[in-house]
Amino acid sequence: MGKLAGEMVRVGTRGSQLARTQTGHVIDQLRSFGFEVQEVIISTRGDQQQTVPIAQIGNDGVFVRELEKALLEERIDLAVHSLKDLPTAMTPGLEFACTPPRATPFDVLVSRDGVGLRDLPADARVGTASIRRRIQIRAVRPDLQIVAIRGNVDSRLKRVDERELDAVVLAAAGLERLGRADCITEVLQPPDFWPAVAQGALVVQIKEANQRVQEILEPIHHPATYLSTVSERALLASLAGGCLAPIGSWGRFEADGELSLGGCVLSDAGGKVEMLTASCSSQVCTSESAFLLGREVAEKLLSQGAQELLDLMRDGGEPPH
């Protein structure tokens, strides 16, 4: 590391406040190691079309493809992503170099009057752009009005402050990283409310076999986050689900050192909310065992009829996000 200190590192990021804040944590660590860092802001399709539902913009990768192109063209040395935005299939020529420590993985409710999901008034208006969140909200409170929203964290919170919405559901990690955790009314956790696969985790992506950048990033890598998210993403891939599918998962290390993984598949096709859940654990903690753990939980879900639920959602004419 010492011989590399002082070198310039070009770090690619989306231009949103949250993306730049998340990337800033990585940049600060690199600078603390003695590197010169240049932040390179790259606009993605997902950022350019703020009023269009994500599933109508394209399939997986709407927030990452332009960054990946910059890596392949060597316009940047590394890109910082929210891992939940990454497709499960790696883009040829690229690889993950490290996963920093994970923030809180769960969703949270931010309500105008400081009440939890179960205590919101009848017919309250709750904002979310995620079909995974929408289905789980309906499972708890079928009477609520779900309002599709997009935009940055501040714009979503503003709609609550201005009484356009009674509440919004957001990722805890984003609020924490932006210093807005004081807005959180309720943390929504399994078994009632499952987070997106790899939610709360960042990943640093680089061009394949770039040993110089791999060495630079090694001190930032957090093995527990890496193994947990490997298991979650293996579950997602085994269910043939992209990052827009109505699938939730949570991998974590227990006190005894076991890697535990739970997952769910959701559907509200035909107006009926259905949720399948399964979990397993592994005493062996390697990338291979984490991957196999994800496949094992996926197989349990498939044995319960997960594929049928996913097919129903696809055939129902509403893209799952």
Looking at 112, 156, 233, 252, which residue is catalytic? 156
Query: Of 143, 120, 139, nearest to 131 (Cα)?
Result: 139
Active site residue 20: no
Active site residue 163: no
Structure tokens at 83: 């891992």
Looking at 10, 132, 177, 207, which residue is catalytic? 132
Looking at 102, 112, 125, 133, which residue is catalytic? 133
Dist. CA 169–CA 146, nearest whole Å: 10
Looking at 243, 252, 268, 280, which residue is catalytic? 243
Active site residue 112: no
Active site residue 156: yes
Residue 116 · residue 185 · CB < 8 Å: yes
Active site residue 133: yes
Residue 148 · residue 131 · CB < 8 Å: no
Structure tokens at 203: 């990943």
Dist. CA 64–CA 67, nearest whole Å: 5
Residue 258 · residue 251 · CB < 8 Å: no
Looking at 85, 107, 166, 268, which residue is catalytic? 85
Looking at 20, 45, 150, 295, which residue is catalytic? 150
DSSP designation for 78: E
Looking at 10, 14, 77, 84, which residue is catalytic? 84
Distance of CA 109 to the CA centre of its chain: 17
Residue 205 · residue 96 · CB < 8 Å: yes
The residues annotated with a catalytic role in the active site are 84-85, 132-133, 150, 156, 243
